[in-house]
Structure 1
Amino acid sequence: MFLKLHTKSVLSGASLIAVALAATPSAALAQDDAGEIVVTARRVEERLQDVPISITVFNQQQLTNRNVVSAGDIATYTPSLSSNGRWGSESTSFAIRGFVQEGPTSPSVGTYFAEVVAPRANGGTTAGNGAGIGSFFDLANVQVLKGPQGTLFGRNTTGGAVLLTPQKPTSRLEGYIEGSYGNYDMQRVQGVVNIPVLDTLRIRLGVDRQTRKGYLNNVGTIGPKDFGDVDYVAARFSIVADLTPNLENYTILSYSNSDTNGAFPKVALQTGGGLSSFLGSQIAATQGDYYDVLNGHANPFQRIEQFSFINTTTWKASDTITIKNIASYAEFRQAVAVNNNGDAIYVGGQPLTGVSLDPEPGKNNVSQSTFTEELQLQGRSGDDRLNYQLGAYLELSEPLEGFQSSRSAIFLRCANVFTYQCNDFLGASTPAPAPAPAGTTLEGRVGQMALSRSKYSFRNLGLYAQGTYKLTDQLSITGGIRYTSDVTRGVSESLRVRFPSANNPQFECSQPGNLLDRPGTFSSAQIVANPNLCQYTRRVTSAKPTWVVGLDFKPVDDVLLYAKYARGYRQGSVNVSLYGLESWGPEKVDTYEVGAKTSFDGFVKGNFNIAAFYNDFSNQQLQIQATACNAGDLVSNPAQCPFIASQAQGIANAGKSTIKGIEVDASVRLFQGFNVDVGYAYLDTKLKTVSLPAVPLGFTSLSSAKVGGVLPLTPKNKYSVTATYTLPLSSDIGRVSFGATFTHQDSMLGQPGSAPSLIQLPPQNNLNLNANWNSVAGSPVDIGLFATNVTKERFHVYTTDGITSYGFDAMILNQPQMYGVRLKYRFGN
C-alpha cells in the first residue's frame, strides 16, 4: 500500500496555544499533490475519509521527524492513546479511550504488524503483546483505530487497535542508507534495498541498528553507569512472488534483539513503615540532578528477543471475489533483572531488597510462541452496492521452554540469590525499621523468596462476517458479527523459600496444600526432591459474540456522517503466580459513536474530522490489592498482620464504568507550503461501582480504584498542534522545510495504589523541532535535524506502587531533551 498524501499528525488538542512548526516534508508535498490517504482499518484498502472509524495515521517521514523508535513514543502524538511505561519503552502497553491493560490481563488494544496480531506473552512484567523493538523503520504507515474493533480484528480490542504496515517490495531497484547521531552518544544506522529479481519476484531487505547511552545516571558504584539506554538490532526480509497473474504470495521474516540495562525507577519519598527508614540516604544521594538514580542490583538488565514469520497468499478468484490466507508464527523471549522499586539498600555488605526480580539461570521471565491462521473471503456484488467479508481465525500460543521462571527476593538480604545465601532482613543483628507488636517475634518471619515457575497456553477460535450495503447512493448500512471462543490454561510450579536463620532455606509450596484442591502439605526436603509436588493448574474458558451496526450518510462527496453501535469483548485469563485470585472472566463494552468526516478544497485546503462516543463498560477487569498473612499468624497474632503482610496484585471482574468523550483532528493548508495539523481528545471517565471478590483464608482484598473517580491513564484533555513550512525553492536547490510539534496532556491518574503525592501523574508538555533539506542541490541526499523535549520538561510518567508494603514510592521519569542529525542517501529509481 502506497501512502501518497501527508498523513495527519493528529495528536491531541484543547488549548491550541503556542503553535509550533513540525517538519513533515513528504506530508506537505502530498498535500500539494492532492493525494489521498489510504488505510486498511476494515481489512481492505480504502480512502481514510470514507471509513466510519476515528483513525490517526502517521507515515514514515512523520515517524522519523518525531524520532519515534518504540511503541511508547507513539502515544505522545495520538489523541485518546496513552501508554504505561512502568517497565520501560521496550515493554509499553497501550490504553485507548480509557481501556487500560492491568497487570497480567490480555491487552485492551490489539497491536498488528502486517495484519498479524503481536505475539502473546504473560509474565510478571508488561511484555510482548505489542510492537516489537525495531518495528518502526521502513513502514508504509501506522494506523491507530479508536473504539472496539472486535468484528474484523477479534477480541482484546475493546479500546482499539494499532496497525503497523511495512513497506512492501516494489518493482523498482531502489533503497537507502541512513545514519543518525545525537546526544547521549546516540548512533543509528538503517539500510534498505529493494530488488526486482524477476518481473514476478521482488524482495526487500532492511536493517536497523541503534545504540544510545541511558539518560538515568547511576550515582552509585554498583551496576552500570546509566539506565534507560537503547541497544537493539532489527532485520526484516520480505519477498513477493506473483505465482500467477491472479495469485500473489507475500512473506515477511522479522527478527529483533534488544539488550539494555533496563528501565529504572527513582525513589521519591518515604511513607513510613516497611523499608522506609533505610531510604533517607538514597533519596539524599539522588538530589544532585533530576535524572540521578541509585542502583542496588548487582547485575541489572533487560533482554528482549522476537522472531516472526508471516505469509499472506492472495487469490483474486474473479473481479468480485478475493480469497486471502494469512498464516504466522512468532516467538517472544524476555529476561529482566532489577530491583522493582528502585531501592538500593546494603546492610552488612549484603543487598536488602523490597522486591528484586531475576530470571532463574538458563531461563527467561517470559518465553512464548504464537501461531495464527486466518482464512478470509472478500467480495462485492456486481453493481458495487454490497461489499462483504467472511473469515475464520485460529490462534494457538504455547510455552517455548517449559516453565518460564523468575526469582524474587522479598524483604531479604542476599549475598547470592541463586544459591540461597540469604537472611531475613529482620535478623538478630538488624534493628526492625518499625516497632514490632508487643509479645511477637519477627525474626525469620517477614522475608521470603518467591520462585515463580509458570507456563501458559492460549487458544482462540473466531468466525466473522461483515458487510456494507448501499441503500441509496448516499446512504449505507453496515453490519458485522464475530463469534469468539477462548481457552486459557496456566500451570504453576511456584515455590516460596523462607529463611528461619541465615543461609538456611526452607521450601514450601506457594499455595498451602490444605487450601487447594489437593490433599496435605509437604516437607521442605520433599519439595526440593520433587518440585512437581507444588504443581497446580488453572483453566478459564469463555465464548462471546461481538458485533457492529452502523449507518453512513454522504450528503455530498466531501462529507461523511456516521453513527454506529458496537460490542467489544476482552477475554478472561489466568495468573498462576498469585494465590487466591488466579483467574478472572471476560469483560465487555457497549459503544455508541457518532462522527463526521469532511474535506474542503480551494485556496484553503484540508479536512476536519470529529467523533463523539459513549461507552458502557461492565465486568471490568480491575487490579485488586491482595494482602496476605500466613494463616497461622492470622489466628495467633492478628495484630502482627499489618506489619508482616506482603502485597500482591490480582485481577477480578470487579468494576463497572462509563467512558465518554470527543475526538477531533484537522489538517489545513493555509497557503502554499504552509500546513497546520491539529488533534484533540477529551475524555470523561467514571468508575461507577466496585464489587470486591471473596478471597481465601489469610487474605484481605482492597481495590485502590476509587468509586466515582476517574480511570487510570485517562487525561481529560490531550492535544497537539503541528505546522510545517516548506520554502518556495526550485528543485535544483532541493526541498527545505522547518517546523515543530507542540503536545499537551492534562494530569491523569496513574497507579491507583501510589502514594497520595504521586498518584496523579503531572501534566505533560512537549515541544519537538525539525528541519529537513531533502534532495540537497538536486542530489539523492537528505539531511535532517531533530530535537525532542526542547524545553527540557521534567515529569514522572508512572509510579511503582511500593507504598503499601515497602514504606516508600518511586517514579518512572520522562525522557530529557534529545537531539541529533540524520544523513540519508537514496539510490536506484
Structure 2
Amino acid sequence: MRYGNGPLKLGTLALGVLLASNLTAAQQTQTEGSEPRRATVLEEVTVTAQRKQENAQDVAISMTVFSQEQIANANMANSNDIATYTPSMTTNTRFGPENATFSIRGFTRSLRTTASVGVYLAEVIAPRGQTSQTSGDGAGPGTLFDLANVQVLKGPQGTLFGRNTTGGSILLTPQQPTQEFEGYLEASAGNYSSQRLQGVINLPITDNLAIRAGIDANERNGHLNNIAKVGGDELGNVNYVAGRFSVLWDITDNVSNYTLITASDSDTNGYTSRLFACNNQPSEFFTVAIGLFTNAGCNQQLENQAANGQDGYYDIVSTVPDAISVIEEKRFINTTTWQVNENLTFKNIFAYAHLLTENGSDVFGTDFPEITYNLLGPVVDLLPLDLITDAIADPDREFGVGLSIAHPDYPVTDQSTWVEEIQLQGVSFDSRLEWQAGLYYEESLPEGPSGNISAGTISCDFETLTGDPSQYNCFDISAGQLGSVLLNDFRTEYKNQAIYAQGSYDFSESITLTAGLRYTRDETQARGKKIRYAYVGTIQQAPTVQISKPRQVSEAPTGVLEVQYRPIPDAVMLYAKYSRGYRQGSVNPAADPGVDVFDQEEVDTYEVGAKTQFGGPIPGRFNIAVFDNDFTDMQLQTGYISSGAAQTVAIFNAGSSKITGVEADLSLQLTSSLLANISYSYLDTELLEQDENSQKIQDAAGGIAGFSATPIADVGDELPFAPDQSVVASLLYQIPVPAKYGLVDFSTTYVYTGQQRAGASSGSPFSMLDAFELWNFNLSWAGVMGTNLDFSAFLTNAFDEEYETYVSATFNVLGFDSRMSGMPKMYGARLRWNF
C-alpha cells in the first residue's frame, strides 16, 4: 500500500467479489479541521482471462479476482484459503490444505485422477505430481505473495487454457519488474506463535532492464493436538520459505524477455483426520467382520479423546513415527514476446518445474489396540508361557487401518515437468477481428521411483516399518487375507500436446462473436511395482510382487462459441456461450491390474450472463451467470481393500451427471467512505447414472475387494464437494481521519458455505458436510502518521466456528468415520515499511 500524491490503493476484504478488487482516489471531500481527504470509487479490474489484458467487465467469463492486499488481509497462505472466499469453489483436503485439490461448480478431482481445475503461474501450468497420493497441480506453500492478482475462472476454459479444465482455471499473476526503485519489508505475528517475514525489492538496472526479487518465510505452530504424542505433539503447523526472482529485459523496442525463477521449501508435521463416530451396530457381513478388528478400539479412542481435557475439537491421534509433509518446488519460466508489427505479436513460453514431496500420515487418525487384545482380551494375559504371550501379543503393536509411512529410500513425488508453447496474437479486418493461435507441448517425467509404505488392516509396531522388511514386527489374525504391509514404487509419465485457435469478431459496436477450437492429445503411462508382505499370525510370508504397466491415450476437440451483446456500451454486456471441456483419461498404478486405467470425461456447458455497471447516487456493478452442464463419463473414485494393493482406490467413469447453477456478484458504493460487496452461488448437482463396479473390482482383486468396494457417490447423490449455496459478503469503511495522519479503513467479511457431499450416502450417515459460517475482520492503517509505514491487524474465523472440510465416509464399511477440521480462530498484526 502507498500513500502520497499519486493513485491510492486501499486494502480491502471484499473477498470473492470481482467488482471491487482495488479502490482509487477520485473525489475530494472536506471535513472540519482536516486536510482534503480522498474518497473511494470502484476501479477498473484488469484481467488476463483470455491470455491478454482486458477489463473484467468485457470478458464473458464468471470469475472472482483477488488483489494482493485482499490475500494479505485475509491471511491466505495456501490453496484452501483461496477456495474459502470463492463461491462455487471448494477443496478436497484429505491430505491437508497444503495439498488441497480444487473443485469448481462440482467438477471434482478424485484421488489419483488428474486435476479438473488448471492452476497457472505466469501462464504456465503447475507441475504435476505422482499417483500414489494427491500432490502437485495446485497453489502450494509460498505461492501467494507479491502477486498482481489471483483470477478464478469458472467453467471449462476449453481453448486457451485447455488442459483438463472441466471445472475452470486459476491464474496466479506475479508482479513483474518495473522501472521504479521500490520494495517493502514486512513482519507479521499472531496466535499459535505465528511469525512471518517478507521482503521484496524492485531494481532498475538500465533503461531497458529491471529485476525484482522477493522472499517469504512463514512459521506457525500446529492447531491440531496429537494426544498420542507419537511423531509430533502438534500437527497442522506451517513452516516454509519461498523465494522469487524475475528479470524483465526489453531487448529492442519490439522484443522483450521475461524470466521468472521460483523456489519453495515446506517442511511440516502434516495433517490427519479426527475419529468421531463408531459403528456399533453393523448390518452387513463384511462390516461385522471388520468391526471385530475396529469396534472396541474405536470406542476406546473416542473415550480417550473426550477425557483428554485439552483442545477438544482439535484433538487428533497420529501414531506415525515420523509424521511429515514435505513439499519442495522449483520453477523456471521464460517468456519472449516479439511485436512483429502493429497487427501481429509472437510469444514463446518455455518452462521447467520440479516437484518433490514426502508424506507420512495416519489417513484415518486411529489408535486401535492390537487385534489380539480386541478379540481375546484378558485371556492373553493368562497364557502360562511368556514366550507364547509375546508371540501372540505385543504392546508395541497397534491395529492400523490405513497409514502412509515415508519410504526411507525415495519420496512420494519426484517429478519434472517441461512446457513449450508458441502463440500468435493479432488483429485483422480493420481491427474488427482479434485472434490468437498456438501450439502446446508438455512432458512430465519421473526423476526416479515415487511412493510410500502403506499398512492397512494389520497390527504392527510401525517404528519397525522404516527399516529392513525382515525385521517388521507385525501380526495378522486373518492370515494375510485382509492385512499387509505394502511398499509402493510408481513411475508415471505424461505427454500433452495441443493446437488451438480463437477469434473475436465485432459485427458492430454492440455485437461480438467469439469462436475457439482446441484439439488435445494426452498420453499417460506408468510402471507400478507393489511389494506386499503378508503375515500368518506373526510369521512373515514370502513377499509377493505385483508389477503393472498401464497406458492410456485420450484425445478430444474442445472449444467455445460465444455471442456478446452490448445494448448500453460500457454499461451493460449480455452474453450467451457454449463451451466444451474435457479431462484426460489416465492410469492408476496404485490399483490392481484390470481396474488401473480409466477413460476421459467430457462436459458441454451452456451459459448466459450479464455484466453491468451503473452510476447514480449509489454507483456499482452487478454480474450474473446462469449455467447448465451436460456431464458425461465423470471420473469418480471407489475405495476397496485388496490382497494385492492393500487399501486403495480405483477410478471409474460414471454415466452422466447434472450440474446447474447461478453465480451473482454485486458491488455498491453506498457513500464516499463505505463500500459493500456480496457474491452468491447456487449449485444443483446430481449423479444420474453410474455402473455397479464392485464386480469389476472383485474380478481384478478378489472377493474381499468386491465386498469392500465403496464409491464416493451413489446414483441420486449430489456430486462431491459441490455446496448447494455459498455467500461471501463484505463491508469496507474508510474511517474519517485527517489525511496527514494516513488512511485508515476497517472491513468485515462474512462467509457462508452450504451443505456439501464428501462421500456416498450408502457409505456413511455422516457423508454430508454441514454448512458453516465464518466472520473475518481487518483494520488497515496506510501511511502511519504520514510515514512510509503501513500497519494492519486481522482476525479470521472470529467466532471460532468448528466446521469440517472432509469426511472419510467409511462408517458402513470399516466401522468408523473420521473427518478433517477447518481452521480455528486466527489473529495477528503486520507492519510494513515501503521504500
Q: Normalising by structure 2, what TM-score?
A: 0.88
Amino acid at match of 2:318: N
In the alignment, structure 2 segments of 5+ residues that lack a partner are 27-38, 281-290, 371-394
1:543 alignment partner, one of 555, 580, 593: 555
1:384 alignment partner, one of 431, 441, 463: 431
Aligned-residue CA RMSD (Å): 2.2
* Alignment partners' CA distance in 1, 2:710 and 2:485: 24
Structure 1 residues 459-474: aligned runs within 5 Å: 459-474=495-510
Amino acid at match of 2:635: Q
Contact 1:217-1:226 within 8 A present in 2 as well: yes
Contact 1:8-1:58 within 8 A present in 2 as well: no
Deviation at 1:217, TM superposition (A): 1.0
* Alignment partners' CA distance in 2, 1:242 and 1:190: 28
Matched, 1:448 2:484: yes
Partner of 2:317: 294
C-alpha deviations, 1:753-791, integer Å up to 9, x for none? 786342110111000000011001110000100000001
* Alignment partners' CA distance in 2, 1:789 and 1:148: 32
Partner of 1:316: 339
Aligned to 1:783, what secondary structure does the other structure show? strand
Contact 1:753-1:759 within 8 A present in 2 as well: yes
Compared CA separation, residues 804 and 578, structure 1 to 2 (3 A): farther
* Alignment partners' CA distance in 2, 1:773 and 1:814: 29
* Alignment partners' CA distance in 2, 1:81 and 1:494: 35
Deviation at 1:93, TM superposition (A): 0.4
1:406 alignment partner, one of 449, 452, 456: 452
Partner of 2:288: none
Aligned to 2:402, what secondary structure does the other structure show? strand
1:623 alignment partner, one of 626, 637, 654: 637
Matched, 1:152 2:160: yes
Amino acid at match of 1:785: A
Matched, 1:681 2:681: yes
Partner of 1:692: 692
Partner of 1:83: 91
* Alignment partners' CA distance in 1, 2:361 and 2:710: 27
Matched, 1:578 2:591: yes
Matched, 1:303 2:303: no
Matched, 1:358 2:405: yes
Matched, 1:778 2:786: yes
* Alignment partners' CA distance in 2, 1:820 and 1:508: 53
Compared CA separation, residues 365 and 671, structure 1 to 2 (3 A): same
Aligned to 1:343, what secondary structure does the other structure show? coil
Deviation at 1:148, TM superposition (A): 0.5
1:566 alignment partner, one of 551, 572, 579: 579
Matched, 1:552 2:575: no
Name whichever of 2-11 and 202-211 sits farther off.
2-11
In the alignment, structure 1 segments of 5+ residues that lack a partner are 14-21, 428-441, 511-534, 631-644
Partner of 1:598: 612
Amino acid at match of 1:544: A
* Alignment partners' CA distance in 1, 2:231 and 2:650: 32
Deviation at 1:506, TM superposition (A): 1.9
Deviation at 1:340, TM superposition (A): 1.3
C-alpha deviations, 1:606-640, integer Å up to 9, x for none? 2100000000000111212345468xxxxxxxxxx
Structure 1 residues 58-69: aligned runs within 5 Å: 58-69=66-77
Partner of 1:27: 23
Amino acid at match of 2:564: D
Compared CA separation, residues 491 and 342, structure 1 to 2 (3 A): same
Matched pairs, number: 764
Name whichever of 471-480 and 407-416 sits farther off.
407-416
Partner of 1:639: none
Deviation at 1:472, TM superposition (A): 1.0
Partner of 2:538: 502
Amino acid at match of 1:781: L
C-alpha deviations, 1:732-755, integer Å up to 9, x for none? 110000121001011111122786
Deviation at 1:28, TM superposition (A): 6.3
Deviation at 1:219, TM superposition (A): 2.0
* Alignment partners' CA distance in 1, 2:432 and 2:737: 46
Aligned to 2:688, what secondary structure does the other structure show? strand
Contact 2:278-2:816 within 8 A present in 1 as well: yes
Amino acid at match of 1:296: T
C-alpha deviations, 1:573-618, integer Å up to 9, x for none? 0011110310001000000000000011233122100000000000
Partner of 1:613: 627
Partner of 1:642: none
Amino acid at match of 1:506: A
Amino acid at match of 2:586: S
Amino acid at match of 2:717: G
Structure 1 residues 720-731: aligned runs within 5 Å: 720-731=728-739
Partner of 2:382: none
Contact 1:9-1:56 within 8 A present in 2 as well: no
Deviation at 1:359, TM superposition (A): 2.6
Deviation at 1:361, TM superposition (A): 1.1
Partner of 1:114: 122
Name whichever of 403-412 and 758-767 sits farther off.
403-412
* Alignment partners' CA distance in 1, 2:646 and 2:25: 59
Amino acid at match of 1:601: G
Deviation at 1:412, TM superposition (A): 2.6
Contact 1:267-1:283 within 8 A present in 2 as well: yes
Structure 1 residues 118-517: aligned runs within 5 Å: 118-272=126-280, 273=291, 274-287=293-306, 288=309, 289-347=312-370, 348-381=395-428, 383-400=430-447, 402-415=448-461, 416-417=464-465, 418-420=467-469, 421-422=471-472, 424-427=474-477, 442-502=478-538, 504-510=540-546
Contact 2:758-2:769 within 8 A present in 1 as well: yes
Deviation at 1:351, TM superposition (A): 3.4
**Fraction of identical pairs, as percent:** 39
Contact 1:458-1:487 within 8 A present in 2 as well: yes
Deviation at 1:705, TM superposition (A): 1.6
Q: Normalising by structure 1, what TM-score?
A: 0.89
C-alpha deviations, 1:681-731, integer Å up to 9, x for none? 000011111123434252525534221221111111100111100023333
Contact 1:12-1:743 within 8 A present in 2 as well: no
Aligned to 1:278, what secondary structure does the other structure show? helix
Partner of 1:663: 663
